[in-house]
Amino acid sequence: MSLSMKLFGYTLFAARLPSLIISIISMIVLYDLIKKITKNKNIALIGLAILAISPWHILQSMWCWDCNMFPHFLLFAIDILYNAILKNKRIMIYISMVFFGITLYCYGVAIYFVPLFLIIQAVYLLKEKKIKPLDVIISIIIFLVLSLPIILTFAINALKIDIDLKIFNITIPYYKNLGRTTDMLLFSSNIPLQLLKNILYLLSTIILQNDDVIWNTTKIFGTIYHITTVFSILGIILYINKKGKNSIDNKLFIIYIWLIISIITGILVNETTVNRLNSIWYVLIIFASIGIYEVYIKIKEVNSKKLNIFKYLYIVAIIVIYLSLFISYIVYFYTVQKHQIETSKFFSDEVYQKIVENEGMELIKGYDILE
């Protein structure tokens, strides 16, 4: 954002431009990942279409918030890693580690998700002989070199080590009143009770796609539309059933682990919200696209020619439902939701105007940030 503001000044356009660019790139990357994993262009197009009209993706593409970068860079990292394994290119594995390292700086919950994800993937890929032990060692080194400052920051604050570290010109501070170490399950005063609460919040956020935060989502439309969750569940069940109840397609292992660790992360974060659970929305869209396609195949496999008309009715129904939801959401977004956000008193137009007028520094002059 600092670069775009340097080019275009203190404007809303400059602030939102980076989020928009990254969001557009993510659409291309998601299409590539689905196409490579499923080897089916139609499934990839379905996933791309759902993503393009999803309220979550539309909102975060214009909302300048740091946490929104995490799911994008996670998607980039997973896509590069998958392509590396698919094409047997070791250099791409190392490049993916760069992106996995960057994710830790995108959002705090990445510290739970990314290391666990990488450990499981490393064990699986070694077992399947897709990578060599040397690849794992080099990957660990690259990841740690990039992420060491943020890992140390989490460590000294989580363990309450009251020291300030410095690596060359990188400062690693201790915060006496850091909230991010208290809103995690492992640091709760009553872990069993908090665990139960976290599970309930997780289920509510995934199934209802709502966290009662008006600038995150809406009860009516959710994050990726409620019908998408239904197809996500169908996609998970039908694809496992298709490959055999006791087996998971090797090509899909990476996204099943993605889903499972997203759920684990949602449990570890106290009273999770849509943005704290933002690692899950891409993978749910992937499974939804598989679900929509697999239902179509099931209908198509019906031998009776009379019943075959249902496959066309099914396609029309899907298009009409999603288009209706998208149009309704856009109208809702620019009317009701816009008004709710503007009157929420959470955002300050006065502060924004001061920044636009290049008076931002005057606002905080003499203010002790530590207080």
- Where exactly are the structural domains of the chain? 2-357
Q: What is the pLDDT of residue 246?
A: 43
Per mean pLDDT, which range of 67-71, 241-245, 268-272, 350-354 is the poorest? 241-245
Pairwise CA distance, residues 43 & 1, whole Å: 34
Task: Return d(Cα 201, Cα 70) in angstroms, integer.
Answer: 21
Do you know the residue count of the chain?
371
Of 291, 171, 270, 169, the closest CA to residue 227 belongs to 291
290 neighbors 37 (Cβ within 8 angstroms): no
In DSSP terms, 166 is beta-bridged to 171
pLDDT category at 306 given cuts 50, 70, 90 is low
> What angle do helix axes 41-53 and 309-332 make, rounded to 10 degrees?
30
110-115-119-124 Cα dihedral, nearest 10 degrees: 20
Band the pLDDT of 298: cuts 50, 70, 90.
confident
Q: Residue 94 — very low, low, confident or very high, per pLDDT cuts 50/70/90?
A: very high
pLDDT band of residue 311 (cuts 50, 70, 90) is confident
273 versus 180: the higher-pLDDT residue is: 273
For 170, phi and psi rounded to 5 degrees? Answer: -95, 120
Q: What's the mean per-residue pLDDT of the chain?
A: 86
- The stretch 327-343 carries a mean pLDDT of 89
Phi, psi values for residue 223, rounded to 5°: -90, -45
CA distance 48 to 46: 5
Separation of alpha carbons 165 and 48, rounded Å: 44
pLDDT for res 263: 94
Contacts of 146 (CB under 8 A, 6+ apart): 97, 98, 101, 102
Residues 211-251: tens digit of each pLDDT: 888 878 888 999 999 999 999 999 988 877 665 544 455 67
Q: Mapping DSSP to helix (H, G, I), strand (E, B) and coil, where does residue 71 land?
A: helix
Between CA 133 and CA 148 the distance in angstroms is: 22
- Which of 190, 224, 188 is closest to 205 using CA atoms? 224
- Residue 350 binned pLDDT confidence (cut-offs 50, 70, 90): low
Contacts of 29 (CB under 8 A, 6+ apart): 75, 76, 79
Residues 90 and 135: their CA atoms lie apart, in Å, by 7
Lowest mean pLDDT among 89-103, 125-139, 176-190, 276-290: 176-190
Q: Which ranges in the chain belong to alpha helices (H)?
A: 2-8, 12-38, 41-53, 55-60, 69-87, 90-106, 110-127, 133-158, 191-203, 226-243, 253-268, 280-300, 309-332, 338-342, 349-356, 360-364
First to last CA, the chain: 26
CA gyration radius for the chain?
22
Distance CA 55, CA 23 (A): 13
Q: Long-range contacts made by residues 10-18, C-beta under 8 angstroms, separation at least 24?
A: 10/355, 10/356, 10/358, 10/360, 11/356, 15/64, 16/62, 16/63, 16/64, 18/64
Q: What is the pLDDT of residue 258?
A: 95
DSSP 167: E
Put simply, whether the predicted model's pTM sits higher than 0.95 gets the answer: no
